[in-house]
Structure 1
Amino acid sequence: MKHLLKFVVLLFSSAVFAQAGHIMQGVGAVNMSMGGAATAQPLDISGALQWNPAAISVFDNKIADFNIGAFFSSPELSSTLPAGMFGTGTPEVSGLTKDDRGVSPMPALAMVWGNENSKHTFGVSAFGISGFGVTFPEEANVINPNPSWNPSDSNPINYPQTMGGFGHIESDYMLLQVGLAYSFEITDNFSIGIQPTVNYAALELAPNPISPPDFPVSMGGTGKGYPTSDKASAIGYGGQVGLFYHSDGGVKVGASYKTAQKFNDLEFKNTYVDGTAAPDVAFNMDYPAILSFGLGYSTDLFDLALDFREVDYKNTAGFEASGWQIASSGPMAGYPTGAVNGFGWKNVQILSAGIQYKGIEKLPLRVGYTYSSNPIDEELAFFSIPATAVIKHAFQLGFSYPLNDNLMLNGVYHHGESGDKTEGTMLSPMAISPTNPLGAIPGTKVGYEMTTDMVMIGVSYTFSK
């Protein structure tokens, strides 16, 4: 059991995927292929456990579900400096850097215990419900000391820190959630559910914007810039409650509320680029509360599902604050330290829709769509460079096929697009003034966009009665 737990943590620790800010749009091949809609249409146990624990009451057997996917993302980071930033007569500098992270796994484990003669249903799950990550290499085409510098193809945000950029930018965040669900059938058509949750989160940042930089010598520092962090981890707790109703005519209604997942602080150990130790810092980042409403309708040929969600980033630690930290004591008291307070994200609205066609024997086919609003304000885009995984439109195609009376094979293909580029101005704590509280640098731009693709295969095993 100890070795199995280590394997599960290792598997989930490399999962990076996000749809709405840093929240997965769905869990498992079946739920993903329905666009993530499952609050009122529990087609599989993973989707029900993720979005509405009351809905597991429809499963009358002991069922196990395992899914694994290969996720590909292609974030692009661009920035622009106006003419004259490197001295009189220097041209505009503009460039783009592509992410080189590669493939990330997407695992999901779930099990439900149900009995048609009992009003009680139980479930357990281990899902990677959240993640973001980028790997943008340091820009090699810089003005100095490169004599062949090409300003029209040079990304200043990735310039070395000694030249005012961030250098190599990398982030890696994941959140593993374990849930224990219970559903009770009040009537044959109406159920309530509850699910306490325990979470494990890990975050690594390079450079670490949560840490104050070592400012240049002219400002009393030694010029080492921002440090790089190790991987910090934290444990969090929360829960979920749900309601589910299904009529004899095929109409289904569901609602659920997942509380904010409260974490202890992420404690970072930092190292400067030159290898020397930097001061340690702590940062509190919770997981936002999510309110979901769902409608479903089923016939002999079709299953329809529609979900609406509200994600409460505005009241979530780590996401509600923005701007630069101000020193409260010492020689820098009253001045910005160069460390950031948080992402400053808005609430997110998500619309998920899916349809399953059952007219082909042993081969149900599914189509899903997900829309998500952008949590990032244009003026705060600079602060979210480490977390660019915002997908506005996602499209899914899926299928199921019974391998035998007990074993079902499920599959899905996903494609996501960020839609319009998220873009704002570059910010600097040195440019802060009463009329410019964020330190916006006139004429500059920083932006990012991405596409995502994923192939996932899952197996669902129904134990013999």
Structure 2
Amino acid sequence: MNKNFLKLAFLMLSALVYGQAGHVMQGVGAVNMSMGGAATAQPLDISGALQWNPAAISTFDNKIIDFNIGAFFSSPELSSTYGTMSGVTEDDRGVSPMPAFAMVWGKEDSKHTFGVSAFGISGFGVTFPENSNYPQDRMGNGNPNFDQTIPVNPISFPQMAGGFGHLESDYMLLQVGFTWAYEITDNLSIGVQPTINYGALELAPSPISAPSQTLGYPTTDKASALGFGAQFGMFYNSPGGIKLGASYKTGQSFGDLEFNNTYLDGSEAPETAFNMDYPAILSFGLGYSKADFDFAIDYRMVDYENTDGFSEKGWVIAEEGPTAGFPTGAVKGFGWKNINILSVGLQYKGIEKLPLRVGYTYSSNPIDDELAFFSIPATAIIANAFQFGFSYPLTDSLMLNGVYHYGTSDGKTEGTLLNPTPDQDFNQDGQPDGPWNAATNPLGIIPGSKVGYEMTTSMVMFGVSYTFNK
């Protein structure tokens, strides 16, 4: 499978995906989302099983195809305070589509089950407009059109006035998986899933580029990279209704994202490269089915602390030249911590032809307060998510599934504004003569300043599942 094919599939199946737990999607498809993402030990549908435990597809004894499409809306707010100025900028991105496709081949008299999937499993993105109501530029020249009666957001000022200006990011990851499950016994199965990934990232402005003292930070084109990994799982289905599951998704290793950069005046900026892998995920699940009820609970640990692009933190330090030992203004990485995710779901089948589901997902926050500034392009951190879903059989073989999702961040993620190179001058020895001090202020904290973000999300998703020769 070549890169052009993956790019086409990516454009068709993953127009835009937003992370719910860090930048990891909490679930895939209407059924799995409505169970809060819990599926490691409770495979109610093939999409959830293929995403969280490849061994669990052994429960399906038919050829099944599943397609889902959702409309996702997020409303992040970016705020900052600098001196007496304080304000909030709202995201204006709008609605984004969320598709997912899965297929499983199973036979009742076979110990082997196969599956294939194409899921948008990760992403983040914001669009914060520029705030042109600024008091003065970085050179101290006043703005005659400044209206001090209107609240202003310093971080959204134009770059020539010391802010980021128009701030936009788009990151998307499509994962294609090929799954094989084998029944060791009637109750115990194992599974393996090699994965091929396609990721793309675009930033404006680009924090991974060293800024020009006169032209500021450049913007990037959309860079892409291929990645590879795997997932392994075990699934136990007891005769009494208790189910146990465990899976390990390896880190997805990507090549470098190579960016062509352009300054705001249209001139070319130096090219940059950035490596951003997908973190390893360890999942444990417990399920229980009895009469009209199916219960599921999953625990996951997402290993950001050992993932390129997320483990690194702080500023890139110049290694040579007159600025050697000083930060360049380019960002090393997000500096995220590992997170814990708890997913809980309940399905009630007591209403004829109308199974109902409720789900809840909790995720810890990967962002340290002191590093909040570095994650402004990736503010999609949802602590609590609530879901309600249903299914309805259109025919004996065709099932309609639906879900409504609502998520909130747990208050505001807030830290300080950072600036390691604030209008540095050079002394007569050719060394930077500025306030940055590696020993006392390695991040370039601006005293008395604040930057923070919070958000809510909502989504409506529908899917159809068709079982051949049911």
TM-score by length of 1: 0.95
The corresponding residue for 2:351 is 360
Match of 1:369 among 360, 365, 372: 360
CA shift, 1:334, in A, is: 1.3
The corresponding residue for 1:176 is 174
**Separation of aligned partners in 1, 2:35 and 2:67:** 17
Deviation sequence 1:189-242 (CA, Å, 0-9, x none): 000000000000000000000000001xxxxxxx10000000000000000000
**Separation of aligned partners in 1, 2:283 and 2:312:** 25
Is the counterpart of residue 36 in structure 1 residue 37 in structure 2? Answer: yes
**Separation of aligned partners in 2, 1:148 and 1:277:** 31
Deviation sequence 1:417-440 (CA, Å, 0-9, x none): 001100000001125311111110
**Separation of aligned partners in 2, 1:359 and 1:308:** 28
Match of 1:456 among 453, 461, 470: 461
Deviation sequence 1:293-342 (CA, Å, 0-9, x none): 00000011100000000000000000001000001122322111110100
**Separation of aligned partners in 2, 1:33 and 1:121:** 25
The corresponding residue for 1:278 is 269
The corresponding residue for 1:132 is 124
The corresponding residue for 2:102 is 110
Contact 1:18 1:131 in 2 (8 A): yes
Specify the SS of the correspondent of 1:31. helix
Match of 2:419 among 412, 428, 447: 428
Matches within 5 A, 1:102-251: 102-144=94-136, 145-150=143-148, 153-215=151-213, 223-251=214-242
CA shift, 1:148, in A, is: 4.4
Contact 2:7 2:198 in 1 (8 A): no
CA shift, 1:12, in A, is: 3.5
Is the counterpart of residue 256 in structure 1 residue 254 in structure 2? Answer: no
Unaligned runs of at least 5 residues, structure 1:
83-91, 216-222
Matches within 5 A, 1:52-67: 52-67=53-68
Unaligned runs of at least 5 residues, structure 2:
137-142, 422-434
CA shift, 1:149, in A, is: 1.9
Contact 1:12 1:174 in 2 (8 A): no
CA shift, 1:142, in A, is: 1.3
TM-score by length of 2: 0.94
Q: Which amino acid aligns with 2:465?
A: S
**Separation of aligned partners in 1, 2:218 and 2:38:** 41
Q: Which amino acid aligns with 1:35?
A: G
Contact 2:133 2:145 in 1 (8 A): no
CA shift, 1:152, in A, is: 6.1
Q: 1:343 to 1:6 in 2, by over 3 A?
A: closer
Contact 2:172 2:201 in 1 (8 A): yes
CA shift, 1:11, in A, is: 2.8
Specify the SS of the correspondent of 1:166. coil
Specify the SS of the correspondent of 2:79. strand
Specify the SS of the correspondent of 1:48. helix
Deviation sequence 1:72-115 (CA, Å, 0-9, x none): 00000000012xxxxxxxxx000000000011100000000000
Question: How many residues are aligned here?
Answer: 449
The corresponding residue for 1:88 is none
The corresponding residue for 1:86 is none
**Separation of aligned partners in 2, 1:93 and 1:375:** 28
Specify the SS of the correspondent of 2:19. coil
Q: Which amino acid aligns with 1:359?
A: G
Is the counterpart of residue 75 in structure 1 residue 76 in structure 2? Answer: yes
Q: Which amino acid aligns with 1:432?
A: W
Specify the SS of the correspondent of 1:9. helix
CA shift, 1:10, in A, is: 1.4
What is the RMSD computed on CA atoms of the aligned residues? Answer: 1.4
Contact 1:93 1:152 in 2 (8 A): no
Specify the SS of the correspondent of 1:380. helix
Percentage of identical aligned residues: 73
